[in-house]
Amino acid sequence: MKHKPDDRSDNVERIQHNINHTIRNMELGKEMIEKTDNPDTREALKEKNERRRDALNGMRTEIRDEELDRERGYDS
Binned at pLDDT 50, 70 and 90, residue 75 comes out as: low
Ordered by start, the domain boundaries in the chain are 19-72
29-65 burial by CB neighbour count: b if 16+ within 10 A, else e?
A: beeebeeeeeeeeeeebeeebeeeeeeeeeeeeebee
- Is the pLDDT at 9 greater than 90? The verdict is no
Whole-model pTM above 0.95?
Answer: no
As a whole number, mean pLDDT of residues 5-22 equals: 91
As a whole number, mean pLDDT of residues 43-68 equals: 97
Binned at pLDDT 50, 70 and 90, residue 1 comes out as: confident
Angle formed at CA 13 by CA 21 and CA 29, multiple of 5 degrees: 10
State the Cα torsion 20-26-31-33 to the nearest 10°: 170
Q: What is the pLDDT of residue 3?
A: 77
